[in-house]
Amino acid sequence: MPPAPRSPLRALAGLASGALALTLATTLTGPATAAADTAAPAAATPSATPLGSWTLDENALYFVSYDGLVNNGSYQQSGILTHGRYQYAAWYTEDRHALLARRSLDGGAWRTVRLPHRLSVDDSHNSISLGVSAADGRLHVGMDTHNTPIHYTRSAPGLVTGGADWSADSFEPIQRDLAGLDTGSMTYPRFVPTPDGGLQFAYRTGGSGDGTQELAEYADGGWTHLGAWSSPDGSYEANGAVSDSRNMYLHGIGYGDDGRLHASFTWRETAAGGDILCHPGGLSNHDTGYVYSDDAGRTWRTDDARLAAVTGTRMRVSVDTPGHVVDPLPPDYALMNQESQAIDSSGNPHVVISYRPGRFGHCSTDFVDDRRRQGRTFHLHQDDAGTWHKVELPEPLDAFGRSRLVLTEDDTAYVVMPFGRILAATADTGWSEWTTVHDGAGVDAFGEVLVDESRVASEGILSVFYQEAGSGPSTPIRVADFRLG
């Protein structure tokens, strides 16, 4: 049977909206909304113990585009992952070739495979994403796309279980579709593993001001298009102007252990923001939205169980969908898109967002600089009653880029901020008491990093995949491991 729908309670949306929500941001914490009847046992103090660092490539391709790197984009799902006995990673090397690597988790060296594809353009959107279809043991690779057809390949069956050699000969030729399924031009390819060993594919068609989220599904060796589930349509008003087009940017899309598919996101109005911004140097991202699906992405509901979308039809999640906003925030606060999401052991969603809070002003005039000087990171989560809670992390962002979120087996949350700083909070505090467990020492990252969520789940080890800053045309790519506890 599918999981029960959530309660329609919403602490954040009901308490405040607009600029008032920004003023209250640091006081809207989870523990303030309910008191426990009995004291829970004290949880162990969270920690992140360094286990070592490995160089994957001394000369990985390096250029800065959209204030980011093509080898470290928050929207890569996934740039590094673990399945079974092996960990996999992907990047572009100095000569622009796509490179895959894997290592045995029992201490083996990283071994690389060079794919017959070279990055087509200097654009950080054109990153590499990896996915595994556990049912047939294939490794899937999607890459080098920004409003263009994908470059895609997949391994022979059984590669991830040792049934095929780790070599270029074990991969199919590079294709401009999904093994025969024409998805057209797209951006942000994401592979989404399902709890039953299947694999889905999430991607955007259209652009940043008129984009649509779509889904495809892999089964029996082939891909099937499920259809679009978000819409750019609807009206949004701010600063005395109205926007009629936008894009849904996913913070994350993924399954909980109970089979529920969760999607959290922010909206961006029009390609450049237009007249709805208080200043042309701002960013038109606004609000944190959330929907879920109990039928593998066929239908979507808001967290009060109201039907929000039917994939492949005209009924789609839009800015006008009632009840989808769980943390209201107007534009003009340099809210970042595509940050991070995780699901706890109770099946509840957690989301990390970042922006410039209202205490620093209510009109961002240079969103890149404003984020670097005054940006802050926030943790949102939904409790068992359906109420959303919000806490500001104590560490300033000090960066333009995004953070990553992982949850351990006991639901301790770890946020990996730019430059490899790691903060943690335990479930017994309602994720309200955050402490720094690693200050970034030994991780000389350009900014954003990638993390291996699947290895945290299977082993309690956090692998941080990062590229060093430099002047180009290449810098080292490394992986640093931490034992979480």
pTM score above 0.85: yes
- The mean of the pLDDT values for the chain is 92
Average pLDDT of the segment spanning 366-387: 98
Q: In 352-378, which positions are buried (b, 16+ CB within 10 angstroms) versus exposed (e)?
A: bbbbbbbeeebebeebeebbbebbbbb
Distance, in Å, from the CA atom of 107 to the CA atom of 127, rounded to the nearest integer, reads: 27
Average pLDDT of the segment spanning 386-407: 98
Average pLDDT of the segment spanning 332-353: 98
Instruction: Tell me the pLDDT band of 24, cut-offs 50, 70 and 90.
Output: very low
CA distances from 271 to 248, 288, 319 (A): 12, 19, 16
pLDDT of residue 15: 34
The answer, yes or no, to whether the previous bond of 473 is cis (omega within 30 of 0) is yes
Task: Tell me: pLDDT of 416 over 60.
Answer: yes
Query: Which tokens is 221 given?
Result: 């060796």
User: Which segment of 42-56, 377-391, 468-482 scores lowest on mean pLDDT?
Assistant: 42-56
Task: Tell me: pLDDT of 273 over 80.
Answer: no
Q: At residue 172, what is the residue type?
A: E
Distance, in Å, from the CA atom of 248 to the CA atom of 316, rounded to the nearest integer, reads: 11
Average pLDDT of the segment spanning 110-139: 98
Task: Tell me: pLDDT of 166 over 50.
Answer: yes
Distance, in Å, from the CA atom of 219 to the CA atom of 197, rounded to the nearest integer, reads: 10
CB atoms inside a 10 Å sphere around CB 392: 17
For the chain, the first-to-last Cα distance in angstroms comes to: 34
pLDDT of residue 43: 58
pLDDT of residue 266: 98
Task: Tell me: pLDDT of 354 over 50.
Answer: yes
pLDDT of residue 42: 55
Tell me if 254 sits within 8 A of 248, measured CB to CB.
Answer: no
Q: What percent of the chain has pLDDT over 90?
A: 88
Give me the residue spans of the domains in the chain.
44-74+403-484, 75-226, 229-389
Distance, in Å, from the CA atom of 70 to the CA atom of 76, rounded to the nearest integer, reads: 10
pLDDT of residue 253: 99
pLDDT of residue 14: 35
Tell me if 380 sits within 8 A of 408, measured CB to CB.
Answer: no
pLDDT of residue 286: 98
pLDDT of residue 108: 87
pLDDT in tens, 169-198: 999 999 999 999 999 999 999 999 999 999
Q: At residue 435, what is the residue type?
A: T
Instruction: Tell me the pLDDT band of 13, cut-offs 50, 70 and 90.
Output: very low
Distance, in Å, from the CA atom of 352 to the CA atom of 27, rounded to the nearest integer, reads: 17
pLDDT in tens, 36-60: 333 445 557 999 999 999 999 999 9
Average pLDDT of the segment spanning 217-241: 97
Higher pLDDT, 221 or 8: 221
Average pLDDT of the segment spanning 447-459: 97
